[in-house]
C-alpha cells in the first residue's frame, strides 16, 4: 500500500513543488490549504499548477474538525501552513499568531490522538536574527540588530564595541535564536512545539529552517516573495531594480527544487 502524506499549506509555493516530488516517488499526497486571498487571489481557486493527482481539502489548520479529517489514514505530515513575511507580521499580529501558533497547536493536539510516522515542520532563518561575524583576529561574534541611529548615519556595516569591522561568516544551526519579529517568534514557537510534542509522543520530528527560497510559482503578492522575484518582476516591466543601502549586503538564496 502506498504511504499517504499530508502537506498543510500544500497549495502554496513550496508545498506544491513538494507534492510533485512525493508523487514522483510513489506516495499518495493530500493537501490541506485555506487558499489565502493574498497568495491565491480573490477567486481562491486551487492553483492550476497543482498536480491533479493531489487529493485536495480546502480548510484552515486552525479548525480542529478539518485537521482531524485531513489526518485520516495519513502516515506522515509536512506542516507548511503559515502566514509568512517579517514586515507584515509586525502589524497583523493576531493573524500571524492565530495561523502559526494556534494552527500548529491544533495540528499537534490532533496528532496526540492520531500519531504519524514522521512530522516535518517548516521553520525559518528569521529565528537567527543577525548571523555570525568574525573579527580580524578570527574570533566569532554574536551581534545585535543595527540601531536606527546607525542606519541614519549610513553606517551599514557591523563592528565590535571598540570599532573593529566585522566580516560575516556562515551561521550554524547551533547559533542562539535572536527573535526580531512576530514572524520569527511564531516560527520559533512552531519549531519548539513540534520538537517537544514529537519527543513526548514518539513521533520522529524534523524542523527545516528555510533560507530565502525562490523558484517558479512564487506569488508576487505573497509577503514571503524574495528579492529575486521582485527584481525579475521589475526588469520584465522595464523598471530598474531598487537597491537599498550600499549594495554590498549578502543574502543566502536556495532553489525550491533543492529545498524539496
* 198 in Cβ contact with 205 (< 8 Å): yes
* 203 in Cβ contact with 74 (< 8 Å): no
Residue among 96, 133, 183, 224 flagged as catalytic: 183
* 167 in Cβ contact with 134 (< 8 Å): yes
Q: Which three cell numbers stand for residue 169?
A: 561568516
Task: Return the C-alpha torsion angle 169, 175, 181, 184, nearest 10.
Answer: 110
Conformational region of residue 156, where left means phi above 0, alpha means psi within -120 to 50, and beta covers everything else: alpha
Is 183 among the residues known to form the active site? Answer: yes
Give 148's contacts (C-beta < 8 A, 6+ positions apart). Answer: none
Cell 490522538, residue? 113
Q: Which residues are catalytic?
A: 183
Amino acid at each position: 500500500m502506498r504511504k499517504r502524506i499530508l502537506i498543510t499549506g500544500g497549495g502554496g509555493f513550496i508545498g506544491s513543488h513538494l507534492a510533485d516530488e512525493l508523487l514522483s516517488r510513489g506516495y499518495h499526497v493530500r493537501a490541506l490549504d485555506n487558499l489565502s486571498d493574498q497568495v491565491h487571489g480573490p477567486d481562491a481557486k486551487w492553483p492550476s499548477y497543482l498536480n491533479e493527482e493531489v487529493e485536495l481539502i480546502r480548510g484552515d489548520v486552525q479548525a480542529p474538525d478539518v485537521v482531524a479529517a485531513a489526518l485520516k489514514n495519513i502516515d506522515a505530515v509536512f506542516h507548511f501552513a503559515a502566514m509568512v513575511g517579517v514586515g507584515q507580521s509586525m502589524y497583523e499580529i493576531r493573524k500571524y499568531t492565530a495561523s502559526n501558533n494556534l494552527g500548529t497547536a491544533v495540528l499537534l493536539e490532533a496528532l496526540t490522538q492520531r500519531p504519524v510516522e514522521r512530522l516535518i515542520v517548516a521553520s525559518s532563518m528569521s529565528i537567527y536574527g543577525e548571523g555570525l561575524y568574525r573579527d580580524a583576529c578570527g574570533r566569532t561574534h554574536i551581534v545585535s540588530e543595527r540601531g536606527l541611529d546607525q542606519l541614519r548615519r549610513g553606517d551599514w556595516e557591523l563592528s565590535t564595541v571598540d570599532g573593529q569591522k566585522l566580516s560575516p561568516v556562515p551561521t550554524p544551526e547551533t547559533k542562539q535564536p535572536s527573535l526580531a519579529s512576530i514572524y520569527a517568534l511564531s516560527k520559533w514557537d512552531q519549531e519548539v512545539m513540534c520538537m517537544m510534542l514529537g519527543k513526548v509522543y514518539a513521533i520522529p520530528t524534523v524542523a527545516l529552517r528555510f533560507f530565502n527560497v525562490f523558484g517558479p510559482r512564487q506569488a508576487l503578492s505573497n509577503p514571503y516573495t524574495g528579492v529575486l522575484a521582485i527584481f525579475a518582476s521589475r526588469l520584465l516591466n522595464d523598471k530598474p531594480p531598487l537597491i537599498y543601502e550600499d549594495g554590498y549586503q549578502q543574502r543566502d538564496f536556495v532553489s525550491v527544487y533543492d529545498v524539496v
